């Protein structure tokens, strides 16, 4: 499974690791992802998602159904 949040679309980004002598080498910044199950009340079933911490906050704020519809329209998930 790739390291992409299914709600916000956050993914690995590349940056520089800077040492004390200011030497720069490439490194990656991974999103804070969790494999989590959410209960979808409209369909009376559980949905397994790989979401970031900010994705969990988005679901808490908007609601699960609205967050899933938003993610589907942006192309982060194909079906739920």
CATH code, domain with 40? 2.30.170.40
Residue 41: domain span: 13-74
Q: What residues of the chain score a pLDDT lower than 70?
A: 1
Contact criterion met (CB below 8 Å) for 16 and 33: no
Examine residue 79 and state whether it is found in any structural domain, yes or no.
Answer: no
pLDDT at 80: 85
What global pTM score does this model have? Answer: 0.87
Examine residue 6 and state whether it is found in any structural domain, yes or no.
Answer: no
Give the pairing type, strands 45-52 and 33-40. antiparallel
Contact criterion met (CB below 8 Å) for 45 and 38: no
Examine residue 60 and state whether it is found in any structural domain, yes or no.
Answer: yes
pLDDT at 1: 67
Examine residue 8 and state whether it is found in any structural domain, yes or no.
Answer: no
pLDDT at 66: 97
What's the structural domain count of the chain?
Answer: 1
Examine residue 58 and state whether it is found in any structural domain, yes or no.
Answer: yes
């Amino acid at each position: 499974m790739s390291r992409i949040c299914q709600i916000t679309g956050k993914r690995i980004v590349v940056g520089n690791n800077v040492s004390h002598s200011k030497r720069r080498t490439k490194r990656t910044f991974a999103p804070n992802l969790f494999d989590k199950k959410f209960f979808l009340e409209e369909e009376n079933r559980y949905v397994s998602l790989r979401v970031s911490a900010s994705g969990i906050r988005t679901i808490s704020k908007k609601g699960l159904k609205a967050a899933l519809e938003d993610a589907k329209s942006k192309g982060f998930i194909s079906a739920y």
